[in-house]
Amino acid sequence: MPTHRVQRTTFPKAEQFQGFMKPCRFEGEIRDLEVEGTIPDRIDGTFFRVMPDPQYIPFIENDPWFNGDGSISAFQVRGGRVNFKQRYVQTEKVVRERQANKALLGKYRNKYTDAVEFKVRSTANTNVLYFNGKLLACKEDSPPYMLDPSTLDTIGLCDFDGQLPSMTFTAHPKIDPVSGELVGFGYEAKGDGTPDVCYYSITPDGKFTETVWLVAPVVGMIHDFAVTENWVVFPIIPQTCDIERMKQGGERWQWDPNLPVYFGVLPRRGAQGSDVKWFRSPNAFPGHVYNAYEEAGNVHVDISISDKNVFFWWPDAEGNSPDPREIAAFLFRFTIDPTATDLDLPPAELLLQENNEFPRIDDRWSMKKHHHGFFNLMDMTAGTNWPAIMPVVGGGFPPYNSLGHLDLRTNKLDKYFPGPTHFAQEPAFVPRSETAEEGDGYLLALVNNYATMLSELHIVDTRNFTKPQAVVYLPVRLRPGLHGNWVDAKDMESAGP
Ligand code: V55
Ligand code: FE
């Protein structure tokens, strides 16, 4: 049943298009942003992040936030001053919709609802990271797009010189801080609805060294994953795909409250697909991974878990989904013995019972035992002025009013509250120096200011976490985004924007 396409002249009335969530659609450059406080000279590099931001008004009535076109923001920080640049990734969708001067792509990851046939449906809207001299703009349904980090020009779709064996590439690849390898995978790797997962490892100069095909027990979303020195772990979100439903014009995903959370565990090197073990844990929503490491033969995975369907806009078969105000995620530590024959995992350990997501660590500790976590936090005691902000917050995204820093050795939780009319987006951690202790440095995070309806970049010193080190003011509003990364100038082959 094809979707009836109405040429709209305004965005749909749905909450994800209202208030601060109204698409921004701005491309351009702003030099010398206003800065209050002082940005230390040591912070020298570029903060890249991506937001889903529809270029054209969609013809889908309730188009979710996750279906917007990827727009990359770059904040180049040098000598205490900040230049800003923002560009759409020139995906096939963006280019062809510009030619047609209207939306052509239909529902989120449902090609049966499109106005034209696309070769690649990527919106490139979920993560942006620097690898082998290029930016990769990722969406988990496609290969990444490759961008010039200094101009944000789109170079093209990235098939790694023909080496990419999979039709898909995760938005959460991991970089090994020791070897510089990129460790990644694709799910539904042989096309929509296929249970095939393709795991791979890429050397810092772009050569594929490990390619392993495995088969998942269900066709569910594998959004993030975990990597240690010797293992990789694939958590499956109980949101499942059904091609027949998609052909009827239905949703890409359906929440299945009867499924366990599967954790696929595979040796990181030299494995075959049949080596994978699918462990099980009771039904829940596995969110973003903080980090994973090995200790005494066990694999520990620190991950955000919610007991509710975080993607409430994709309900279960009966149409049930939770009230978004009641969704919360906590930090848990799973302990997996990869040699175990009992595939039911022991209960995970609760490490932080405060509503938090979008975790980061000091990436120098990636894949080994970390002691610091940084994240977005919803702190109901912090003093948010709810009556002031409610009319303009919009909806369809998870709100967080604070940043958190958890020291896992002492369980000390530091909180940064950006203000009573402010929400924070995913932070990025910048170490104070190359030799700084783990977790000693700065957090950068975009902040939505609902009083001015403008965006701000807050910089917080981990040694003085309650007050901002600096606030950078944008003269525009950026739509809330997903993921991003800090790239130090010394690590980038060409200069920033
Ligand atoms: C996520 C985001 C996506 C997506 C799948 O945050 C999962 C999770 C922005 O798009 O397509
Ligand atoms: Fe994500």
Tell me the domains of the chain and their CATH numbers. Answer: 15-495 (2.130.10.10)
Its pTM stands at 0.98
Question: Can you tell me the distance from the alpha carbon of 371 to that of 10, in angstroms, rounded to the nearest whole number?
Answer: 48
Q: What does R_g of the chain's alpha carbons equal in angstroms?
A: 21
Question: Can you tell me the distance from the alpha carbon of 494 to that of 151, in angstroms, rounded to the nearest whole number?
Answer: 10
Is the CB of residue 264 less than 8 Å from the CB of residue 329?
Answer: no
Q: Is the CB of 223 under 6 A from ligand 1?
A: yes
Is the CB of residue 431 less than 8 Å from the CB of residue 362?
Answer: yes
The owner of tokens 């010193």 is 461
DSSP string computed for 20-71: GGS-----EEE-S-EEEE---TT--EEEEEEEE--SS--SSTT--GGGSPEE
Question: Can you tell me the distance from the alpha carbon of 303 to that of 320, in angstroms, rounded to the nearest whole number?
Answer: 25
Q: Is the CB of 187 under 6 A from ligand 1?
A: no
Residue 170 CA, ligand 2 centroid: distance in Å: 9
Q: Which amino acid is at 6?
A: V
CA angle 10/15/20 to nearest 5° reads 85
**Nearest ligand 1 atom, CA 109:** 11
Mapping DSSP onto H, E and C, the string for 302-322 reads EEEEECCCCCCCCCECCCCCC
Pocket test for ligand 1, best of 126, 142, 241, 309 (most atoms within 8 A of CB): 126
One pLDDT digit (tens) per residue for the chain, 497 residues: 455 688 899 999 999 999 999 999 999 999 999 999 999 999 999 999 999 999 999 999 999 999 999 999 999 999 999 999 999 999 999 999 999 999 999 999 999 999 999 999 999 999 999 999 999 999 999 999 999 999 999 999 999 999 999 999 999 999 999 999 999 999 999 999 999 999 999 999 999 999 999 999 999 999 999 999 999 999 999 999 999 999 999 999 999 999 999 999 999 999 999 999 999 999 999 999 999 999 999 999 999 999 999 999 999 999 999 999 999 999 999 999 999 999 999 999 999 999 999 999 999 999 999 999 999 999 999 999 999 999 999 999 999 999 999 999 999 999 999 999 999 999 999 999 999 999 999 999 999 999 999 999 999 999 999 999 999 999 999 999 999 999 999 999 754 44
**Residue from 388, 497, 375 nearest 452 by CA:** 388
Q: What share of the chain is helix, strand, coil (3-state, %, to 5)?
A: 10, 40, 50
The β-bridge relationship of strands 182-187 and 174-175 is antiparallel
The residue contributing the CA closest to ligand 1 atom 7 is 223
* Ligand number nearest to the C-alpha of 52: 1
